[in-house]
Amino acid sequence: EQNRKSMMEALNQYSSVKHVIGVASGKGGVGKSFVTAMLAVLLNRKGYKVGILDADITGPSIPKMFGISKRAEINELGFIPERTAGGIKLMSINLLLEQEDMPVIWRGPILAGTVKQFWTDVVWEDLDYLLIDMPPGTGDVPLTVFQSIPLDGIVIVSSPQDLVSMIVRKAYNMAKQMDIPVLGLVENMSSVKCPDCGKEINLFGESKLPAISREIGVDILGRLPIDPKLAELVDKGEFERFSSEYLADAVEKIEKL
Ligand code: ADP
């Protein structure tokens, strides 16, 4: 409680954030940014004020999904987040770099310091929900997020392979050790949706998700197929225009927090 209070006090002085939700994964490339962006858009469509803090410093992909490549303004109040067409506020290292294709070759403490600054120095103003695209894995930077940003809970995104290995359980155990509630699991890319007939094909056989969910006692919040229509929207930087409701249950759970 005391910790939470001091974390809240560290928030940028011109900002007030009601709920903070982390989107985590045991490893990269499983669709964590994709799920973060989808949740943000769905909440925004419901009329909430939403921001996305891209804490995936070495693999930032949020701005591109929304077609944003402008440099963020920095003024005497702090870093000013960019806004998507629909009004979602974004802060990402890619909005601060001189060239968005320059790699960030920084050691752990610098990465961690940047993530902290996205909480303390970004002028988020009033938000109902701040979604955090967490750095993947269980290293230095995710640890900093857990220790410096007051998360209300995390959503764990996994690929079918992670469910077989220990990766999901590692992500789950990290949150548990840090006393952060796990809101639930989202399985991504376990099936593919035919763009012509809409039929879903399970690429890896029957899902392991129900078994893992029972084992660790965490809800299933959704299953996302590989959807070529969504991939195309990502590539065009028009992700905000998607029209699928794969994560409706996850949104409902977040609204109840
Ligand atoms: P992570 O944040 O876990 O590293 P991303 O969200 O960047 O992963 O996803 C990796 C790539 O796969 C991105 O190009 C993303 O647009 C694409 N992708 C993820 N999930 C889906 C999906 N369900 N359908 C289509 N493309 C997807």
At 80 the pLDDT is 98
* pLDDT tier for residue 193 given thresholds of 50, 70 and 90: confident
Closest protein CA for atom 5 of ligand 1: 31
| pLDDT per residue as tens digits for the range 60-76 | 999 999 999 989 999 99
* pLDDT tier for residue 101 given thresholds of 50, 70 and 90: confident
Give mean pLDDT, residues 140-152.
95
Percentage of the chain lying above the pLDDT 90 cut: 80
Domains, the chain: 2-255 (3.40.50.300)
At 205 the pLDDT is 86
* pLDDT tier for residue 16 given thresholds of 50, 70 and 90: very high
Kindly give the distance from the C-alpha atom of residue 30 to the centroid of ligand 1, in angstroms, as a whole number.
6
Cβ 23 under 6 angstroms from ligand 1: no
Cβ 34 under 6 angstroms from ligand 1: yes
At 226 the pLDDT is 94
- pLDDT above 90: residue 99: no
Secondary structure string (H, E, C) spanning the chain: CHHHHHHHHCCCCCCEEEEEEEEECCCCCCCHHHHHHHHHHHHHHCCCCEEEEECCCCCCCHHHHCCCCCCCEEECCEEECEECCCCCEEECHHHCCCCCCCCCCCCHHHHHHHHHHHHHCECCCEEEEEEEECCCCCCHHHHHHHHHCCCCEEEEEECHHHHHCCHHHHHHHHHHHCCCCEEEEEEEEEEEECCCCCCEEECCCCCCHHHHHHHHCCCEEEEEEECHHHHHHHHHCCHHHCCCCCCHHHHHHHHCC
Question: Complex ipTM, two decimals?
Answer: 0.99
Cβ 237 under 6 angstroms from ligand 1: no
| pLDDT per residue as tens digits for the range 204-226 | 888 889 999 999 999 999 999 99
Closest protein CA for atom 19 of ligand 1: 31
